[in-house]
Amino acid sequence: MNEISRLFPNQLQTELDRALTNRWEHLQEIRLRLQQPIELIFNQSHEQLVYLKPDKHDFVHIIQQLSDYSLYRMEEELREGYMTIEGGHRVGLAGKVNTLNGSVKAIQYITFLNIRIAKQKIGAASKLMPYLYNRGYKNTLIIGAPQTGKTTLIRDIARIISSGSNQVSPLKVGVIDERSEIAASINGVPQHDLGTRTDVMDACPKAEGMMMMIRSMSPEVLIVDEIGGNKDVEALLEALHAGVVVICTVHGYTLDELKRRPAIKRLLTQGIFQRFVLLHRTSIPGSSYTIYDENERNMLQQKSGV
């Protein structure tokens, strides 16, 4: 976890390393709040380090490390409220916001940080895959709240589809990785294992990236994380009309909730997806889910139909 430790000043780094000895693998988040105890969130618990309260100088040091001493390089991140660092770890930013004509221009004073730990879990999607395949992979929507394992699953799905198995031939997979979380690419090179036939469009807006990937790399399966707006939906429809299988995630809690969102409702009412995977919050993200077919029947209760 050197890519995380290096962000902190020496004293904080030493204390954190001591507090996390033999526990890094269970860590989900490190939350920092100005003049407040650092909070550690693990798979099954959370704790506050009351003896570690980062001050303004500590925050300046961390921001300098994140921006490589150039806030100009963080202009887009300061507008979006997050950035992805080496290793695929995501850093959320909050504080005093600057606006221009009613829109967020940047976060001027960063006084809250949330470092979400990225972990590749090889085999996380293995038990799920038979439900997504029936004489071919099915268009699939993975639904989940934050920290339920959406990105973990979709990363492993890409790896499995592009590597193939004894029963299923490997396919060409295109990953649109707008936030650099799926592949954790550095200078365009994925740091996670996405399989042998996967191509990645890194740090590219989803809608544009999908069209670019289809035109340039002719994928058989397109994988996209966190679809949302009308542009994403239009691009997905274009991909489907081009004969590409689409597997994507969306933030949500239930299918009924998604039906109330105008953009997503378009996809649902047109019967685009043949599989829905609803993730449940557990201590191990991505390990608990319900699978529905295109008629919203629970497939885990009808295994004979798989």
Digit-coded pLDDT (tens) for 235-252:
999 999 999 999 999 999
Residue 306 scores a pLDDT above 60: no
Distance (Å, whole) CA 236 – CA 279: 22
Is pLDDT larger for residue 38 or for residue 181?
A: 38
DSSP type of residue 161: H
pTM of the full structure: 0.81
pLDDT at res. 35? 96
Angle between helix axes 206-217 and 230-241 (nearest 10 degrees) is: 20
Cα angle 122, 66, 180; round to 5: 35
Run of H or E including 269: helix 262-269
- Domains in the chain (CATH in brackets) are 2-116 (3.30.450), 129-305 (3.40.50.300)
Mean pLDDT of the chain, nearest integer? 89
Distance (Å, whole) CA 62 – CA 149: 27
Integer CA distances (angstroms), 248 to 40, 119, 170, 233, in order: 30, 19, 19, 11
pLDDT, tens digit, 9 for 90 and up, residues 187-205: 888 889 999 999 999 989 9
pLDDT at res. 120? 84
- Find tokens 């799926």 and name the residue: 182
Which residues 6+ apart lie within 8 Å of 14 measured at CB? none
Over residues 162-172, the mean pLDDT reads: 91
Contact 87, 118 (CB under 8 A): yes
Contact 133, 270 (CB under 8 A): no
> In 136-214, at which residue ranges do the beta strands (DSSP E only) sit?
140-144, 173-177, 198-202
pLDDT, tens digit, 9 for 90 and up, residues 97-139: 888 887 777 788 899 999 998 888 899 999 999 999 999 999 9
pLDDT, tens digit, 9 for 90 and up, residues 14-59: 999 999 999 988 898 999 999 999 999 998 889 999 999 999 999 9
Contact 3, 87 (CB under 8 A): yes
Residue 79 scores a pLDDT above 90: no
Confidence class of residue 88 from pLDDT cuts 50, 70 and 90?
confident
